[in-house]
Amino acid sequence: MLFRHQKQAQVFFQGRIIGSMCHIRSFSTSYDKESTISTGPNSNGRHQRPIYVAATKQHVGKTSVSLALVSGLKKRFGKVGFIKPVGQQHVTVKSKELEQDIKVDKDVCLVREHFELDHVDYNHMSPVIIPRGYTKKYIDGKITYETQMNDIDRAFRRVSGDSDVVLCEGTGHVAVGSIVDVNNAKVAGMVGADMVLVANGGLGSAFDELELNRVLCQHFNVRIAGVVINKVRHDKYEQTKHYMTKALMQRWGVPLLGCVPDRPYLGCPALFDLEKIFKTNLMVGTKHRFRHYSVEDINLITTSLTRFLENLRTKPSRTLYICHVTRDDIILGFMAEYQRRKKSMGAEPPLEAALIVCGRKDKYEVSDEVIDMIMGLDGAPVMIVEYSTHEAMQKIHDYTPKLNIDDKNRVMTAVEHYEPYIDFDELLRRTTSDDSSFNDRDSGRFEERV
């Protein structure tokens, strides 16, 4: 294998192929499509390309789409490989192959553990991670381009060699990683993957964002397998699906692979998320830490205890309340109401509310007596945070919940919600071919697919 990095003029990637269903595309800034290499057909006589998922921006549901794709592919292939070539937020996991702890992107941990992809070791699923300070080291020459590309190449070859099909999840939009020369489009071109673009619901703005990402894919000779439009308003669903399908086919000759209606629950933070936001833990009610709350139902308590108790009995049971640390009456009233409901033995619906108690550090504190009473009860979730009520509410409103392996219910809900809306038959038609050049009639010529 040979790499050359010549003042951003030309970059060459060449490699011998291993694995029954993968191919690597050698490339330069001119990107000769005829240089695509394949090792041969799969068991169905078709050549299967890797599938690469990227978004148009942050927080559009890329990981949810990836989860749904892995779930659907597992129903159609024996072994599904997963790799996140370039990651950012990482977690520590145990590599059985290396017999030591290593850092991988958090989404790699999520996908591998949820789908039990035990045939692939963590060591090959997250080759490049970009933590704080990485960019400066790269620009200073402490991290080389060749090292990054070798790591990605080696990892992809191993995953593809052990799998029947490979799904690659990108980081953010297509251009993310450009500052260190490993953006999503470039990596997708390197491994010979077809791109699935994910955008939020809408027409004009969604298509504009898709176009920006399509152009970079085209620059790196990456075929667009299709588009998934996510978080579509229910009252605009049929309209969005009809016109986006029409626009994509007219302008790009690319199908709409999925149009997914909004599922508000997936955007609701759990108490587990709030623990991370405020860097604290629930005082009591820890068994409810994966209970989700709508941001729209946050209630700041400024009323009397009597009025608050009335609200507890009339508002939706699962409401997130916020009060100031000086409101001992509210804190104790909340705990007492929880105990009262618990003793009703089903005569009244259980109280599923949670209470966030706010007070700036070194200025306000909950009294020891009140803390003793809280800790002495098997009560509803209560969390004390060292922020003002305004700051706490702002942080909750600004937070975008992310899928994680600990919140199994949300992960399962995401898979079950997204998977039925994705056209897997069309996706596989677009990413397989009778001809290793991928210019046969069934899969569509390259010019028709970008």
Question: 69-87: b or e for each residue (b if 16 or more CB lie within 10 Å)?
Answer: bbbbbeeebebbbbbbbbb
Mind giving me the DSSP string for 208-259? Answer: HHHHHHHHHHHHTT--EEEEEEEEE-GGGHHHHHHHHHHHHHHHTS--EEEE
pLDDT at 23 over 50: no
pLDDT at 428 over 90: yes
In single-letter form, the type of residue at position 172 comes to G
Averaged pLDDT, 262-274: 93
Indicate if the pLDDT at residue 106 is higher than 80. Answer: yes
Least confident span in 1-15, 281-295, 338-352, 404-418: 1-15
Q: What does the pLDDT average to over 146-153? A: 95
Among 44-48, 75-79, 403-407, 425-429, the range scoring the smallest mean pLDDT is 44-48
β 47-48/432-433 pair status: antiparallel
Centre a 10 Å sphere on the Cβ of residue 248 and count the other Cβ atoms it contains. 22
Classify 181 as helix, strand or coil.
coil
Burial of 151 (0-12, 13-18, 19+ CB in 10 A): middle
Q: What is the dihedral of CA 48, 52, 56, 58, to 10 degrees?
A: 150
* Per-residue pLDDT reduced to its tens digit, 30-69: 333 333 333 345 556 678 999 999 999 988 999 999 999 9
Quick one: which of 420, 415, 444, 414 has its CA closest to 431? 444
pTM tops 0.85, yes or no: no
The secondary structure element, H or E, covering residue 198 is: strand 194-200
pLDDT band at 434 (very low <50, low <70, confident <90, very high): low
Burial 26-44 (b: 16+ CB within 10 A, else e): bbeeeeeeeebebbebeee
What average pLDDT does the structure give for the chain? Answer: 86
Question: How many whole angstroms from its chain centre is CA 121?
Answer: 20
* Residue 81 · residue 169 · CB < 8 Å: no
pLDDT band at 441 (very low <50, low <70, confident <90, very high): very low
How confident is the model over 227-243, as pLDDT tens digits? 999 999 999 999 999 99
> Is residue 337 a contact partner of residue 309, using CB atoms and an 8 Å limit?
yes
Residue 56: per-residue pLDDT: 94
Q: Are 93 and 105 in contact (CB under 8 A)?
A: no
pLDDT of residue 226: 96
Closest among 241, 268, 271 to 256, alpha carbons compared: 241
Quick one: which of 272, 294, 284, 285 has its CA closest to 405?
272
User: Which tens digits make up the pLDDT trace of 158-215?
Assistant: 999 999 999 999 998 999 999 999 999 999 999 999 999 999 988 999 999 999 999 9
Beta strands, E only, 292-385: 298-300, 320-324, 354-358, 382-385
432 strand-pairing partners:
48
Tell me what pLDDT residue 345 has: 74
pLDDT-based confidence at residue 296 (cuts at 50, 70, 90): confident
Residue 387 CA to residue 360 CA, distance in Å, equals 5
Give the per-residue pLDDT at 374.
83
